[in-house]
Amino acid sequence: MVTINDLSSIIDNDVLHELYTARDLTLSDVTEEDKKNLEKLYEKEKVEHKQLLSTIKSIPNISAKLLENIERRIENHVDNNAQITAYFDEKLFKCGVIDGITLMLESNRAISDV
């Protein structure tokens, strides 16, 4: 019977990363269904972005340089949040793969013990 210890030499972090990358590429393809499901969120995001820029531009005596700096910092903030989310997405995926393999092995062990 194969055990998790047997698999540890095969399924290391590099293998998990390759599995995640392949799956991430598949999931990142935006389908027509995705477009339909996300349409309202994309519209809301566009409106929010316009309102944010309008609010910033309404600050009295704001210079173009300061406006550009504020916009860049907001974009950096959003990018950092996306990277944090991506980190945890990958971590959860890897844990899920290991949990799934462990569950299958434990199920096979339980069946063979019967």
User: What is the residue extent of each domain of the chain?
Assistant: 4-113
The mean pLDDT values, 10 residues at a time, for the chain of 114 residues are: 61 80 84 90 93 90 90 94 92 86 80 72
pLDDT in the model for residue 9: 61
pLDDT in tens, 18-38: 888 888 888 888 889 988 999
Q: Please, which residues have CB within 8 angstroms of residue 109's CB and are 6 or more apart in sequence? A: 1
Helix axes 13-28, 64-113, angle to 10 degrees: 120
pLDDT in the model for residue 114: 66
Q: Which two tokens stand for residue 23?
A: 């799956």
- Alpha-carbon gap, residue 22 to 82, rounded angstroms: 19
Q: Which two tokens stand for residue 58?
A: 């309404």
pLDDT in the model for residue 3: 60
In a 10 Å sphere around its CB, with 0-12 CB exposed, 13-18 middle and 19+ buried, how is residue 6 labelled? exposed
pLDDT in the model for residue 78: 93
Q: Which residue has the tokens 């998990």?
A: 16
Which residue spans within the chain are E strands per DSSP? none
